[in-house]
Amino acid sequence: MVAGIPILWLLVLFLIPFLIVFRISLSEVRLAIPPYTPLFTWHNGSPLLQLHWSSYAFLFTDSLYVSSYLYSLKVAAVSTLCCLLIGYPMAYAIARAAPASRSVLLMLIVLPFWTSFLLRVYAWIGLLKNNGVVNNVLLWLGVIHHPLVLLQTDFAVYIGIVYSYLPFMILPLYANLEKHDGALLEAAADLGARPMRAFLRITLPQSIAGILAGSLLVFIPAVGEYVIPTLLGRPDQLMIGRVLSDEFFENRDWPVASAVAILVLLLLVIPIMWFQRLERRELEAK
Amino acid sequence: MSSRGLFSRCALILGLVFLYLPILSMIIFSFNNSRLVTVWDAAHSPTLKWYVALAGNEPVLRAAWLSIRIALVASTGAVILGTLAGVALARFGAFRGRLLLAGMTTAPIVMPEVITGLSLLLLFVALQQLIGWPHGVGAVTITLSHITFCMAYVTVVVQSRLAGMDVSLEEAAMDLGARPGRVFVRITLPLILPAIASGWLLAFTLSWDDLVITQFVAGPASSTLPMVIFSKVRFGVTPDINALATILVSIVATGIAASTVWMRYQQRRRERDVLLAAAANL
């Protein structure tokens, strides 16, 4: 009973929907309600199964889709790396802070997360615009003489993703780093290891699980990110989440939108399962 | 202090500046008189006119009210389902369907929202054809979708709280003859209540904030607040949105501050009780 209700709920509202997406990706678009062909048709009294792979074939013939896929992967990978480079020292500093100030620092990291994600992305439009705050400050300082084009660039998308996902990188890293035993580092120092060497040989290898969990937590959703590239990104290079949404809402092509979703899922299924394994280990190790 | 400590501290301070600067600039410019959001009109600022404009903005207020109602129902539903799932995963050992449940509760957390949204809408369309329900999309389908992705977060919060908790109290109650249902209500539930409360808050925030999944499963008459904001900001920056953001940030900051003070107070009371109990035993 206790396990049955949530299992049933998730089967109906999480797992079965993916099967429906897969089934519709094998249909063809048509002008009707629903706007796709049925999988089974009756032919002389016997059911006839009709699978159309045309939506998938279409995705590989038009270069728009392939380039969106690759672009999404690149954006997600670069953003994850930036999150790691910024988030690791921050998590490290919090883990080494006095216990009393740790909870305050953690709260400061999490607080923006409780305010609207959409509004935090929107704030960057005001900062990055041609006559925005960043350009005004740089002009005033005399660093630049003409406003820089910052909005609707790859740079703006990276900023937006790093800004929104940074807490997701810091929290698992902190949870990992906080458990480290300081005695190991002291022992290394006593044995003459410089701080950098001690960090590379002791702290870094021990924090691999945290690095992986944080990176997957940023990378997987970033691949399908929709809001950030739509508000801050280039109009000429779409990410795959936007392509999916446009196929569905603008072109009303449900089979192609479903095929895009299935291909993104195929791409992400290994990272997702990897994340689940890390998560299970983390929850069961306690 | 070592150079490494100095470096990581500087990184922390810069990182926090990075996290708070955009929010701060939004708050400052919400008091700006100029329609050009980013040019400070020193002669006529600060002003509250965008707040006044917001108070009279019927679509925004209607959307906010709808979002609150959806978030209240969705977070409560998510807490019930998520607690059941969390208890099952943390306490039931190896039951049939365990791996399935564990997988289905962690996947929604990282699943790109466009995929979840699309699949939920296609489910509702298929259900309508099959059994004639739901009648079109709207507040009901939004709420069902929100419960589904929010319960994953509640499950993780409850499960990790239970995983870090000693089972001996529950076992003692069972040894004394309490039935499982009674053990849950009298022992487990009070112990995980803080986790349930923070799970509820988390679910409320996620539901209140969600745009992408909602856009898929919403109908023409059911615009939530994020949908209204998105359609406004897609066509440029508008100062009344800054005012709205400032109000939301103040509510959240007040809530967090209040809950921190409350938790400190509880902590002190517990410590005092322990001291008193120790003194009484002397």
Q: Taking CB atoms and an 8 Å limit, are B122 and A245 in contact across chains?
A: no
Question: Does residue B245 belong to any structural domain of this protein?
Answer: no
**Distance in Å, alpha carbon of B278 to nearest chain A alpha carbon:** 25
Identity of residue B220: P
Q: Taking CB atoms and an 8 Å limit, are A127 and B25 in contact across chains?
A: yes
Question: Does residue B5 belong to any structural domain of this protein?
Answer: no
Mark whether B92 and B200 lie in a shared domain: yes
Residues of chain B positioned with their CB less than 8 A from the CB of A279 = 106, 156
pLDDT cut 70: percent of chain A above it: 98
A-chain residue closest to B111, CA distance? A221
**Residue B111 reports pLDDT greater than 50:** yes
Which letter, b or e, does each residue of A78-102 get, where b requires 16 or more Cβ atoms within 10 Å of its Cβ? bbbebbbebbbbbbbbbbbbeeeee
Burial (CB count <10 Å: 0-12, 13-18, 19+), residue A181: exposed
**Distance in Å, alpha carbon of A265 to nearest chain B alpha carbon:** 8
- What is the pLDDT, as a whole number, of residue A217? 93
Average pLDDT over residues B107-134: 92
In terms of pLDDT, which residue wins out, B98 or A284? B98
pLDDT digits (tens, 9 = 90+) for B65-100: 999 999 999 999 999 999 999 999 988 888 888 889
Question: What's the pLDDT band for A133 if we cut at 50, 70, 90?
Answer: confident
Indicate the pTM of the whole model. 0.90
Average pLDDT over residues B216-235: 90
Mark whether B175 and B72 lie in a shared domain: yes
pLDDT cut 90: percent of chain B above it: 43
Task: Please report, in angstroms and rounded to a whole number, the separation of the first and last CA atoms in chain B.
Answer: 45
Average pLDDT over residues B96-121: 91
Average pLDDT over residues B100-110: 89
**Residue B55 reports pLDDT greater than 50:** yes
List B residues 183-202 in contact with A (Cβ-Cβ < 8 A).
none
Mark whether B210 and B262 lie in a shared domain: no
Question: What's the pLDDT band for B1 if we cut at 50, 70, 90?
Answer: very low
Mark whether B268 and B171 lie in a shared domain: no
Mark whether B135 and B213 lie in a shared domain: yes
Q: Taking CB atoms and an 8 Å limit, are A13 and B4 in contact across chains?
A: no
Substitution target from A174, A283, A284, A286 for chain B, most B beta carbons within 10 A: A283
pLDDT digits (tens, 9 = 90+) for A22-66: 999 998 887 767 778 777 777 777 777 778 888 899 899 988 899
Give me A275's structure tokens.
């994340």
pLDDT digits (tens, 9 = 90+) for B174-196: 889 888 888 888 888 988 998 99
Question: What's the pLDDT band for B142 if we cut at 50, 70, 90?
Answer: very high
Phi, psi of B166 (to 5 degrees): -70, 135
pLDDT digits (tens, 9 = 90+) for A179-193: 888 888 888 888 888
- What is the pLDDT, as a whole number, of residue A247? 92
Average pLDDT over residues A265-277: 89
For B260, the domain range is: 250-282
Inter-axis angle of helices A240-249 and A254-285, to 10 degrees?
140
Give me A109's structure tokens.
């990291």
Q: Taking CB atoms and an 8 Å limit, are A272 and B111 in contact across chains?
A: yes
Average pLDDT of chain B to the nearest whole number? 88
> Could you tell me the CATH number of the domain that includes residue B106?
1.10.3720.10
- What is the pLDDT, as a whole number, of residue A265? 92
What's the total number of domains in chain B?
A: 2
Can you say whether residue A142 is alpha, beta or left, with left for phi > 0 and alpha for psi between -120 and 50 degrees? Answer: left
Mark whether B102 and B179 lie in a shared domain: yes
- DSSP symbol at A15: I
- What is the pLDDT, as a whole number, of residue B79? 97
Mark whether B269 and B211 lie in a shared domain: no
Question: Does residue B43 belong to any structural domain of this protein?
Answer: no
Q: Taking CB atoms and an 8 Å limit, are A261 and B81 in contact across chains?
A: no
- What is the pLDDT, as a whole number, of residue B35? 72
- Give the position of tokens 């990182």: B15
Residues of chain A positioned with their CB less than 8 A from the CB of B12 = 89-90, 93-94, 105
- What is the pLDDT, as a whole number, of residue B141? 96
pLDDT digits (tens, 9 = 90+) for A243-258: 999 999 998 899 999 9
Give CA separation, A121 vs A116, B20, B61, in Å: 9, 12, 21
Substitution target from A33, A109, A116, A278 for chain B, most B beta carbons within 10 A: A116
Residues of chain A positioned with their CB less than 8 A from the CB of B229 = 116, 118-119, 122
Question: Does residue B20 belong to any structural domain of this protein?
Answer: no
Q: Give me the residue spans of the domains in chain A.
A: 1-52, 55-285
Report the C-alpha gap between B191 and B170 in whole angstroms. 10
- Asked: is A55-285 a CATH 1.10.3720.10 domain? The reply is yes
Question: Does residue B206 belong to any structural domain of this protein?
Answer: yes
Task: Please report, in angstroms and rounded to a whole number, the separation of the first and last CA atoms in chain A.
Answer: 26
- What is the pLDDT, as a whole number, of residue B124? 94
Question: Does residue B276 belong to any structural domain of this protein?
Answer: yes
Q: Taking CB atoms and an 8 Å limit, are A2 and B84 in contact across chains?
A: yes
Question: Does residue B107 belong to any structural domain of this protein?
Answer: yes
Mark whether B224 and B282 lie in a shared domain: no
In terms of pLDDT, which residue wins out, A127 or B164? A127
- Give the position of tokens 């509510």: B251
Residues of chain A positioned with their CB less than 8 A from the CB of B211 = 117-118, 227
